Amino acid sequence: MFKNIENFKIEDIHAGTAKKSSSVLCRNRSSLVLRTSGAVRYTFSDQILEIYPGDIIFMPRGCCYDFVTLTDAPCNYVSVRIESDASETTPFVYSIKDFPEYTEFENKLSDMWKFGGPAERYRCYSIIYNLLAYMKNQEKIAYTDKKKSHLISPAVSYLKKHIYDCDLKIDTLIQLCGISGTYFQKIFQANYSISPQKYILNKRLSHAKAIMDSGDFDTISEIATSVGYTDPLYFSRAFKKKYGFSPTHYIKQVSFYSQ
C-alpha cells in the first residue's frame, strides 16, 4: 500500500477489454486496474498474481511482466492512470467488492472522467481517495487478523498431512479450529493472502504439474486422484484455468521437450 500520496494526480481513467496475452517490458505509468469480468494472471519477476472480478491491482511505473487471460469470456477492466510522489514499486492486489462505491467505480467512473465537467472530475477524485482509505483500512484489519494465526494452526497442521485427500472438506478445517467459518476465512486470508479454497487448489495443481514433469504416472485420472480429485474432468478444467493448457496438452509438451 502507498506509504504516502503526496501530489496525487489522476492522469486518465478508461475502461476496456484485455488482450488474450501480452508482455510489458517496462510500464511507463502507474495505474490502479479494477478487473470487472474475466480473470488474468500476471507473472512478474518475483511473484505471480491472479486477478478476478472485484480485484484491483496496483501496477507501478517501471515494472515488467507477462499476462494471460484465464477465461474464454472477455476480461474487462477499469484503469486509473495516476501520478504521485508515492515510492511504492511493488504490485499489490486488494479485493474491493465490498467497497461502498464499487458499483459507481465499475459502471460510471470512466464516463464521468471522459465526458463530465469539473464536478464529475471532483467526484472521480473523491471515489479514488475513498478507495485508498478503504484499502488502507483493509490492510489494518488484515494485520490484526494476521496476529491471530494461532487460531487456525490446527487446520494448517491438518492440511500439511491431508491436503491431497479426496475427502478433504473446508468444514473439517473449520471444526478443528472451533471458530466460525467467516472468521476462519478472514484469518486464513490475512496470513496466506489467499482463501483456503484457492490455497488447496494451487497446492494440488502445482503437485499435479510436478507429477507430469516427472513422467511417473499412467493416466490423467491417476494424477487427479493422487492430488485429491475423484472427478478427472473437474481436475482438467481447473488445471487448464490455472496454467492455460489442458493436462493432455501439457503432458505432450513435456514429452516433446524431453526427447
**CATH classification at residue 111:** 2.60.120.280
C-alpha dihedral (93, 94, 97, 98), degrees to nearest 10:
-170
What CATH number corresponds to the domain at position 153? 1.10.10.60
If one counts every other C-beta atom within 10 angstroms of the C-beta of residue 93, the result is: 17
Q: Which domain holds residue 52?
A: 9-145
**Do 224 and 191 reside in the same domain of the chain?**
yes
**Do 60 and 85 reside in the same domain of the chain?**
yes
**Do 20 and 139 reside in the same domain of the chain?**
yes
**Do 54 and 88 reside in the same domain of the chain?**
yes
Residue 87 has pLDDT above 80, yes or no: no
pLDDT band at 206 (very low <50, low <70, confident <90, very high): very high
Q: pLDDT tens across 213-225, in order? A: 888 888 999 999 9
The answer to whether the pTM exceeds 0.85 is: no
Domain tally, the chain: 2
**Do 117 and 224 reside in the same domain of the chain?**
no
Q: Can you tell me the distance from the alpha carbon of 100 to that of 170, in angstroms, rounded to the nearest whole number?
A: 29
Helices (H), 31-180: 102-107, 109-115, 118-146, 153-162, 170-177
**Do 245 and 157 reside in the same domain of the chain?**
yes
Residue 12 has pLDDT above 90, yes or no: yes
